[in-house]
Amino acid sequence: MLLHRSEQKNPAFATGSRRWHATVTHIAGLALLSISPGLVISAIVELVGGGDAAGMLAITAVIFAVLGAAMWRGTQLGDLTLRTVFAAVGWSWLLVSVLGALPFVLARTFQREGASRWVELGDAVFESVSGYTCTGSTVLTTLPDLGGDDTQVGRGILFYRQLTQWYGGMGFVQLVITVLPTLGSKAIGFMGAESPGPTADRLSPHAADTAKILWKLYVGGTAAMAVAFTAAGMNWWDAITHSLTTAATGGFSTYNDSIGEFDSLPIEIVAQIAMLFGGTNWALHYLFLTKRRTVHKEDHEFRAYIAMYVAATLAISLILSTGGEVDNFGTALRTASFNVASMASSTGFGNAQGAGSPGDFVLWSATPLVIMLLLMVIGGMSGSTAGGTKVIRTRVLIAISHRTLAVARQPRVIVPVKLGGDVVKERVVHRVSFFMMAYVALVVGGFLLVTALGGELEASLAGVVGSLGNMGPAFGAAGPTATFLDAFPAPARMVLALLMLIGRLELFAVLLMFALPRQVARRAKPHKHTF
């Protein structure tokens, strides 16, 4: 079989296969296949736990496997342009997030009196999107109390709900890369499209090996967190389910009061360390284990990240203790440090033991809430599982502002943007500037739309910022002791779900999902002019 010259250069065409060339469908099919084993495990957990949704989870596993196999086997990789790479990542996330609602729909997880089937479907999609994007905002109100059985949700459904965040934390497209070596050097493009932050870290000459390293580290980190939670006092079920979402900085809990349900200082300390670990660039953890023990101390972004955590914790602790909002400085430090770690890492766990307790930060005064809002905007480090605009972008934005002032004083002077003595490339400066402008536009537009659809003012602002930053709880009626069910009408929740996807994919993949292929123009010969 003769191949076109462009096809001969691409290993995807070199097999002589007559399969349809469709990169987006090929990658999306593999993404569905990667979720299927998790659904099988969830079905087993449901069956062992005596729930009645095991069949629903098994049916969904079959649907994911059959549909994913058909999409994968019936296609092959086409041209790996920037547009197709970002489109493949974007459409894969959209497909998995929407189809991920099937177990909730089939099990009628969100069935409640007075709600139509369409509203239940919307709630299921919202929960699925919130899970896979590691946002942690929820509309589920039937979670149990510690040690109680007053729940309509089986353990398998709860496990699947936790597992959605674990898959989304590192990214299932990166999982696809580990089994798709034909991507070659283009694999780093897929990683960059899915990884949070301005760039993707390369830990090996081969991008597929980098993805494998990160996933092995991710699995090992999750296991270590489960052991630490067990040592702090959790039982094995709670330790496993909470480690899945802590490693992913997702924030889903199996209890209504989240970590506050345990009312345990050791568990909160372990959770804080684990959340900050997840909010740190995972490449630093790998380098620490294999090469340099001082790599964290040497990294400028990590130092800024920890400094932000310490400064915000101390500021909020002092304000809460001196303002009389808590009884003493110790209680203020405990509640402040936990909630700051939760927001700085974009995890969204809460340590409130119910409405009105010290950890219920919606009752704090204005200044601590403004600090929390800033943490929701910034989030964690690039290359981590955290959301937000990232610490590195904030530092670049500050450096850009400094350069602007310097150029205003001396217009003829060329001033580079520097971070820690290193010059930032102009293409990175432009991307960061565009991202931050687009972020502000999305916050303003989302806020206006959500409030127009019936959301209250305070909750809408924090809800939009939290959704874009994949944070979890908001302010007002959507705080850490409440859900998004009563705070936002169903149409507003769909807007927030869309913002979650945009925030997880960091805008560029979403824009290029809908970009039309650029027409290739013939290169014109230059005209000779006589002057």
Tokens for 199?
């760039």
If one compares 356 and 126, the residue with the highest pLDDT of the two is 126
Highest mean pLDDT among 83-92, 467-476, 507-516: 467-476
Of residues 14 and 464, more confidence is placed in 464
Is residue 364 very low, low, confident or very high in pLDDT (cuts 50, 70, 90)?
A: very high
Q: What are phi and psi for residue 424, nearest 5 degrees?
A: -85, 130
C-beta separation of 51 from 158 below 8 A: no
Percent of the chain topping pLDDT 90: 49
The token pair that represents 306 in the structure block: 């920890």
Q: Is the separation of the CB atoms in 172 and 515 below 8 Å?
A: no
Distance CA 403, CA 392 (A): 16
Confidence of residue 333 (pLDDT cuts 50, 70, 90): very high
Kindly tell me if the per-residue pLDDT of 126 is higher than 60: yes
Structure tokens at 478: 């959507």
Higher pLDDT, 200 or 220: 220
Q: What is the pLDDT of residue 18?
A: 61
203 versus 299: the higher-pLDDT residue is 299
What does the mean pLDDT of the chain come to? 83
What average pLDDT does range 74-87 have in this prediction? 76
To the nearest 10°, report the CA torsion of 130, 304, 290, 506: 30
Residue 12 reports pLDDT greater than 70: no
Residue 236 has pLDDT above 60, yes or no: yes
**DSSP string over 186-213:** GHHHHHHHHSSSSS---SSSSHHHHHHH
Under 8 Å between Cβ of 419 and 402: no
- Per-residue model confidence (pLDDT) at position 67: 95
Q: Is the pLDDT of residue 206 over 80?
A: no
HEC profile of 347-403: CCCCCCCCCCCCCCHHHCCHHHHHHHHHHHHHCCCCCCCCCCCCHHHHHHHHHHHHH
Q: Stretch 223-243: mean pLDDT, rounded?
A: 96
The stretch 167-176 carries a mean pLDDT of 72
**What's residue 523's pLDDT?**
39
The pLDDT value recorded for residue 5 is: 39
Question: Within 10 A of 414 (CB to CB), how many other CB atoms are there?
Answer: 7
Q: What is the pLDDT of residue 401?
A: 87
pLDDT of 334: 95
* Residue 526: pLDDT over 60: no
pLDDT, position 13? 43
The pLDDT score that the predictor gives to residue 291 is 78
| 466 contacts: CB under 8 Å, gap ≥ 6 | 135, 137, 348, 376, 472, 473, 474
Within the chain, what is the greatest distance between any pair of CA atoms? 89
Q: Is residue 74 classed as helix, strand or coil in its secondary structure?
A: coil
Q: Which residues contact 520 (CB under 8 A, 6 or more apart)?
A: none
Indicate if the pLDDT at residue 192 is higher than 60: no
Q: Rg of the Cα trace of the chain? A: 24
pLDDT at 189 over 50: no
Instruction: Provide mean pLDDT across the span 437-445.
Output: 93
The size of the chain, in residues, is 531
pLDDT at 141 over 80: yes
pLDDT value at residue 530: 32
- Per-residue pLDDT reduced to its tens digit, 57-71: 999 999 999 999 999
Residue 114's pLDDT is: 80
Which residue shows structure tokens 């230059």?
526
User: Highest-confidence range of 52-61, 152-161, 165-174, by mean pLDDT?
Assistant: 52-61
34, two tokens: 């990667």
Instruction: Please compute the mean of the pLDDT values over residues 415-425 and round it to a whole number.
Output: 80
Going by pLDDT thresholds of 50, 70 and 90, the confidence category of residue 385 is confident
Could you tell me the sign of the dihedral formed by the alpha carbons of 149, 151, 152, 155, in that order? Answer: negative
Judge whether residue 160 has pLDDT over 90: yes
Q: What is the mean pLDDT of residues 15-27?
A: 71
What pLDDT does residue 266 have?
Answer: 96
Instruction: State residue 235's pLDDT score.
Output: 95
Q: Is residue 274 scored above 90 in pLDDT? A: yes
166 or 515, higher pLDDT: 166
Give 507-524 pLDDT, tens digit per residue. Answer: 766 766 665 444 433 333
pLDDT at 480 over 70: yes
Average pLDDT for 281-308:
89
Q: Is pLDDT at 500 greater than 90 in this prediction?
A: yes
pLDDT of residue 157: 94
Among the residue ranges 105-114, 142-151, 424-433, the one predicted with the least confidence is 142-151
pLDDT at 361 over 60: yes
Distance CA 466, CA 472 (A): 6
The residue type at 204 = S
Q: How far apart are CA 380 and CA 239, in angstroms?
A: 23
| pLDDT for res 391 | 92
| DSSP symbol at 419 | E
The answer for 472, left when phi > 0, alpha when psi is -120 to 50, beta otherwise, is: left
Alpha helices in 100-206 (DSSP H): 102-106, 117-132, 155-170, 172-177, 187-194
Q: Is the pLDDT of residue 211 over 50?
A: yes
- Cβ neighbors of 399 (< 8 A, separation 6 or more) are 417, 418, 419, 424
